[in-house]
Amino acid sequence: MEAPQNTKRTKASEPTLKRLPRYLHYLQKAQDKGILTISAPVIGKELQCDPTQVVKDLATTGVKGRPRIGYNIHELIQTIESFLGYNRANEAFLVGAGNLGMAMMSYPDFQRFGLKIVAAFDTNRDKIGRSRSGINILHMNKFQDLARRLQVRIAVLTVPHTVAQEVTDLLVASGIEAIWNLTPSQLQVPEHVIVQNTSMYANVTLLLKKLQEKDESESVQ
């Protein structure tokens, strides 16, 4: 355990990390169909992206392919999953059992992607004691104690944005090291805490802007 076999400390770029799960999803479907080997050009064609991009992305995981054959699909899946850390089950607490929180609880397969939501928290009395997809909803005042005792490092934040910052302060005080922020708020956190923002608004903006640009380019013609 002293020397790492893989000296490939090739820190993958963010765009690459975002593409890898997509490849993985496609590869798993392909494997289910009984396919044994697959080439980068085929993946690129199917996922409508550049084949050399696929080769480059796969190369960062350290997997080796063979000319004229492609990659062994089983080995490829294993390597990507291991590279992304999907084998470890990272335990997480979800905070905010509203609509979005409930949706996240019943979102399928997070566990296959390395994330296991082990409990949910809210302050609404009507929700406490209930459960969703096997995840119990507890009162927020139990968060700090449980997070410390269970050594949970990750929180999924789905509270209303009006209370996002104050809840975040509690998470940080409870030892949370990584926050998946699904609120539109920009969270203030200490340097050692990781925040991953998933803004629905940014995405809807991008979509509408693309549509708008398409309209404009057509009207110009």
Partner DNA sequence: ATCTAATAAAGAAAAAAATCTTTATATATT
Partner DNA sequence: AATATATAAAGATTTTTTTCTTTATTAGAT
165 contacts DNA (rule: CB under 7 A): no
69 contacts DNA (rule: CB under 7 A): yes
Distances from the Cα of 150 to the Cα of 21, 87, 88, 104, 118, angstroms: 28, 20, 16, 21, 10
With CB under 7 A as the contact rule, the residue among 20, 24, 30, 40 that binds DNA is 40
In angstroms, give the least distance from the CB of 44 to DNA.
8
Nearer to DNA, 59 or 118 (CB): 59
9 contacts DNA (rule: CB under 7 A): no
186 contacts DNA (rule: CB under 7 A): no
20-57 as b/e: b if 16+ CB within 10 A: beebbeebeebeeeeeeebbbebbbeebeeeeebbbeb
H or E element, residue 92:
strand 90-95
66 contacts DNA (rule: CB under 7 A): yes
Helix axes 14-32, 73-84, angle to 10 degrees: 140
Q: Six-digit token pair at 126? A: 């009507």
Nearer to DNA, 79 or 90 (CB): 79
Residues 101, 84: Cα–Cα separation, whole Å: 24
Residue type, 115: L
164: how many CB neighbours lie within 10 A of its CB?
Answer: 22
With CB under 7 A as the contact rule, the residue among 21, 51, 84, 165 that binds DNA is 51
Nearer to a copy of itself, 22 or 74 (CB): 22
With CB under 8 A as the contact rule, the residue among 18, 66, 130, 142 that binds a copy of itself is 18
Segment 36-95, which members bind a copy of itself (CB under 8 A)? 46-48, 84-85, 90
Could you tell me if 158 and 105 are in contact, meaning their C-beta atoms sit under 8 angstroms apart?
no
Nearer to a copy of itself, 67 or 134 (CB): 134
Binding mask 178-217 for a copy of itself (x = CB under 8 A): x-x---xxx-x-----x-x-xxxxxxxxxxxxxxxxx---
Nearer to a copy of itself, 15 or 129 (CB): 15
Distances from the Cα of 68 to the Cα of 8, 79, 178, 210, angstroms: 25, 20, 43, 38
**Residues near DNA (CB under 7 A):** 13-16, 39-42, 49-53, 55-56, 58-59, 63-71
